[in-house]
């Protein structure tokens, strides 16, 4: 692919290429602002410099994908610490000294500054308008330049939106810093005012932008701008944590605007604009294909993805290094073409029980195995696959291991995979439309049901009975179905906690997320908590056969010795071992992205079953390798009869258990003991809002102030 040189005059010189290009930097001394913004080629390079700011690890390259995905019933970072920490953002227990907050804040405002400069200078450029045949300037903007300005406005709106979701009211301006003076602090602006301004700015920009049918999903398009308007509007119309400015110790309260339906209407209309454009579809590829394509650097412009952040191979982005199975090394070396994988961005251990049977997303996303290396008896480095049986499972949406071996990243490569990250997908647009239409019409419309159905049906190739008919029976049932669908659809995409905040359901879901771990840990030491029925009811197991008191605590699995398989010509088992799951009749039930590395056949991942009979999987006189087993949910401390610390403290800043077995929920920093699960409307809000960085507050000389008990 073409190598591009990127320049942003007046701020810094940066480089950006599309996903597989290398970066190259030009010396800044030969450029002036007047030169850059008087030539289209240089304006395009300057725009690429704006894109480059989104790729850094402190922003979307790593932090957005890992550090600031907060704990929920879907995504989780386990913690065993019973003490406060500056940096435990995921468990709602941090403060303004957390270094990652300052890094994210700084990177976000750097992108905004680059975008502000680009928009200001480009709109003031002598070539912003076209010229007629006589060389006279017209009042018609140049179409290509107008598209570039729209792209910069999308990037600016994207990062402002994420700042508002994470920090609440934040400093806000569309003016470059050189217009404000070096000593002027940007004023903190109410989040609703920011959201209104972003929506209006994008509404103007979208009129001059190109469709993804004529550009690429690695750049901001008309459809992305429309989808981003819908996302900002839906967020603005939803709930958020508001501060009590008369009491800085208060964690605040959940509120939504009185005119929230106006925002829902904007969201519905702009989501509908994307749908009516017809440029994106879920038809033609599976859910799994969306992410495997990204892992193989395949850009699909008419599919699910509307905008994916375009990382550069071997240079930026940790997509597929953070996610997927751990692939550890041995004294710095690894076997195979892929190199080390961290695999540390995980999913809740109980997430897989929250799916409906037959959902292909469950089998693909929930990764229950990992890889490690050792020196074999011959003294050679060898690899082995292991079952993952700790406090979480891997998110298998992305992985370096899904990259075809022939185009892999190299043995010594760790992060900087260059795998793109899907910031906006068509599935999200369909579900945003369904949610907004359901709210505005006091129940689901036919189109809203069809939108949800399109997402749901892709995940159920064999259908799902009367499910879609049942959920359309009422407004509340349909709203719950939308949230469930988003729960199943967007694991690892920094969505779930935001959806729960917007719908004011975060408090309730965190209580049950904690109780699942607590209950499993107590059962391990022979005690029932009394919460099991409530958990089963909450999770939709209403037939008296709930999973939480009937977990598959011993899971059976096996692999095969490949030499034995080859010797007996057992092609079925070779397929099963290397990339496929095959049932006893020889039917392929699941195809894994990597066809070269082992994966485990797991017998009872979702319900307890008796030990499998080895003879049932015997073919051609060859007796398969004996089933192995692993103990799950061994989370009890027999010395004190309590769950281990990982079960007690992974939601530390909201709900926890002490060493005496007492359960506590935190309201405005005060621990309140409980034994019965409080009603949803009695629960305190979750302090998901992050504090302004302490360094920023100090530099503001009193202009900025933290609330929410920080």
Higher pLDDT, 487 or 546: 487
d(CA 393, CA 633): 12
Asked whether the beta carbons of 457 and 427 are under 8 A apart, the reply is no
Which pair of structure tokens corresponds to residue 246?
A: 């008369």
Place of tokens 């920011």: 194
% of the chain surpassing 70 pLDDT: 85
Average pLDDT over residues 226-253: 97
Say which range, 73-87, 129-143, 404-418, 569-583, has the weakest mean pLDDT: 569-583
Q: What is the pLDDT confidence band of residue 11, given thresholds at 50, 70 and 90?
A: very low
pLDDT of residue 416: 93
Beta bridge partners of 629: 556
Q: What is the pLDDT confidence band of residue 12, given thresholds at 50, 70 and 90?
A: very low
Q: What is the pLDDT confidence band of residue 272, given thresholds at 50, 70 and 90?
A: very high
Q: Output the 3-class SS for 313-345.
A: CCCCCCCCCCCCCCECCECCECCCCCCCECCCC
Alpha helices in 61-190 (DSSP H): 99-123, 143-167
pTM: 0.92
Average pLDDT over residues 328-335: 70
According to DSSP, the β-strands at 392-395 and 580-582 are unpaired
| pLDDT, the chain, mean | 88
Say which range, 295-309, 375-389, 594-608, 650-664, has the weakest mean pLDDT: 375-389
In the predicted model, is pLDDT for residue 624 greater than 60? no
pLDDT of residue 58: 98
Average pLDDT over residues 192-211: 98
Average pLDDT over residues 39-49: 95
d(CA 635, CA 644): 5
Tens-place pLDDT, residues 125-170: 999 998 877 777 888 999 999 999 999 999 999 999 999 999 999 9
Say which range, 482-491, 613-622, 698-707, has the weakest mean pLDDT: 613-622
Asked whether the beta carbons of 327 and 402 are under 8 A apart, the reply is no
Tens-place pLDDT, residues 690-709: 999 999 999 998 899 999 99
DSSP state of 6: B
Q: From residue 537, how far is each of 351, 356, 470 by CA, in Å?
A: 16, 15, 18
Tens-place pLDDT, residues 513-564: 999 999 999 999 999 999 999 999 999 998 778 899 999 999 988 765 444 4
Q: What is the pLDDT confidence band of residue 596, given thresholds at 50, 70 and 90?
A: confident
Q: What is the pLDDT confidence band of residue 410, given thresholds at 50, 70 and 90?
A: low
Q: Which of 339, 498, 513 is nearest to 415 (CA)?
A: 339
Q: What is the pLDDT confidence band of residue 621, given thresholds at 50, 70 and 90?
A: very low
Asked whether the beta carbons of 135 and 169 are under 8 A apart, the reply is no
Q: Output the 3-class SS for 540-604.
A: CCCCCCCCCCCCCCEEEEECCCHHHHHHCCCHHHHHHHCCEEECCCCCEEEECCCCCCCCCEECC
pLDDT of residue 46: 96
Tens-place pLDDT, residues 569-588: 444 444 444 455 555 555 55
d(CA 98, CA 690): 10
Q: What is the pLDDT confidence band of residue 337, given thresholds at 50, 70 and 90?
A: confident
Q: From residue 58, how far is each of 54, 78, 459, 497 by CA, in Å?
A: 9, 21, 33, 20
Tens-place pLDDT, residues 450-484: 999 999 999 998 899 899 999 999 999 999 999 99
């Amino acid at each position: 692919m073409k190598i591009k040189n990127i320049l942003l005059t007046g701020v810094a010189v940066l480089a950006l290429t599309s996903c597989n290009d290398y970066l190259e930097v030009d010396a800044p001394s030969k450029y002036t602002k007047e030169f850059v913004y008087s030539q289209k080629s240089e304006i395009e390079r300057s725009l690429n410099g704006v894109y480059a700011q989104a790729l850094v690890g402190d922003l979307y390259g790593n932090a957005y994908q890992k550090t600031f995905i907060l704990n929920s019933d879907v995504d989780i970072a386990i913690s065993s610490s019973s003490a406060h920490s500056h940096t435990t953002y995921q468990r709602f227990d941090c403060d303004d000294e957390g270094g990652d907050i300052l890094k994210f804040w700084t990177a976000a405002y750097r992108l905004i500054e680059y975008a502000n400069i680009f928009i200001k200078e480009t709109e003031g450029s002598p070539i912003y308008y076209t010229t007629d045949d006589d060389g006279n300037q017209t009042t018609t903007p140049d179409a290509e330049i107008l598209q570039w300005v729209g792209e910069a406005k999308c990037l600016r709106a994207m990062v402002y939106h994420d700042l508002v979701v994470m920090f609440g009211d934040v400093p806000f301006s569309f003016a470059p810093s050189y217009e404000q003076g070096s000593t002027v602090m940007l004023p903190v602006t109410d989040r609703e005012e920011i959201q209104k301004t972003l929506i209006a700015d994008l509404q103007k920009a979208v009129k001059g932008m190109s469709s993804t049918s004529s550009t690429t999903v690695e750049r901001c398009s008309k459809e992305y701008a429309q989808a981003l308007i819908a996302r900002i509007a839906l967020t603005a119309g939803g709930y958020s944590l508001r501060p009590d400015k008369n009491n800085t110790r208060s964690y605040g309260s959940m509120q939504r605007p009185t005119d929230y339906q106006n925002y829902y209407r904007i969201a519905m209309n702009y989501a509908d604009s994307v749908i009516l454009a017809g440029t994106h579809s879920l038809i033609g590829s599976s859910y799994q294909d969306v992410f495997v394509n990204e892992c193989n650097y395949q850009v699909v412009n008419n599919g699910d993805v509307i905008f994916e952040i375009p990382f550069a191979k071997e240079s930026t982005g940790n997509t597929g290094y953070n996610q997927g199975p751990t692939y550890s090394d041995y004294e710095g070396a690894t076997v195979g073409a892929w190199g080390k994988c961290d695999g540390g961005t995980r999913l809740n251990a109980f997430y897989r029980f929250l799916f409906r049977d037959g959902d292909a997303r469950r089998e693909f996303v929930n990764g229950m195995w990992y890889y490690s290396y050792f020196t074999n008896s011959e003294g050679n480095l060898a690899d082995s696959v292991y079952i993952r049986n700790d406090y979480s499972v891997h998110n298998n949406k992305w992985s370096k291991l899904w990259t075809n071996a022939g185009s892999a990243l190299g043995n010594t490569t760790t992060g900087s995979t260059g795998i793109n990250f899907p910031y906006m997908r068509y599935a999200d647009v369909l579900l945003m439309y369904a949610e907004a239409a359901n709210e505005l019409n006091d129940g689901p419309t036919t189109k809203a049901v069809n939108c949800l159905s399109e997402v749901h049906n892709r995940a159920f190739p064999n259908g799902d009975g009367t499910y879609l008919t049942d959920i359309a029976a009422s407004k509340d049932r349909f709203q719950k179905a939308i949230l469930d669908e988003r729960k199943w659809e967007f694991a690892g995409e920094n969505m779930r906690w935001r959806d729960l905040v917007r719908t004011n359901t975060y408090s309730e879901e965190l209580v049950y997320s904690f109780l699942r771990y607590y209950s499993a840990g107590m059962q391990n030491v022979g005690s029932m908590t009394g919460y099991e029925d409530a958990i089963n009811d909450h999770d939709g197991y209403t037939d008296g056969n709930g999973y939480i008191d009937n977990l598959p605590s011993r899971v059976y699995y096996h692999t095969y010795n490949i030499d034995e398989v080859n010797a007996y010509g057992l092609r079925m088992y070779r397929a099963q071992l290397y990339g496929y799951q095959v049932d006893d009749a020889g039917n392929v039930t699941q195809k894994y992205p990597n066809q070269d590395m082992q994966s485990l056949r797991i017998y009872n991942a979702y319900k307890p079953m008796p030990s499998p009979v080895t003879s049932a999987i015997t073919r051609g006189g060859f007796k398969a390798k004996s089933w192995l087993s692993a103990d799950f949910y061994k989370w009890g401390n027999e010395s004190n009869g309590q769950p281990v610390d990982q079960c007690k403290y992974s939601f530390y800043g909201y709900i926890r258990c002490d060493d005496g077995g007492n359960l506590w929920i935190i309201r405005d920093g005060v621990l309140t003991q409980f034994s019965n699960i409080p009603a949803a409307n009695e629960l305190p809000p979750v302090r998901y809002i992050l504090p302004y960085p302490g360094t920023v507050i100090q530099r503001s000389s009193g202009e900025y102030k933290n609330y929410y008990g920080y």
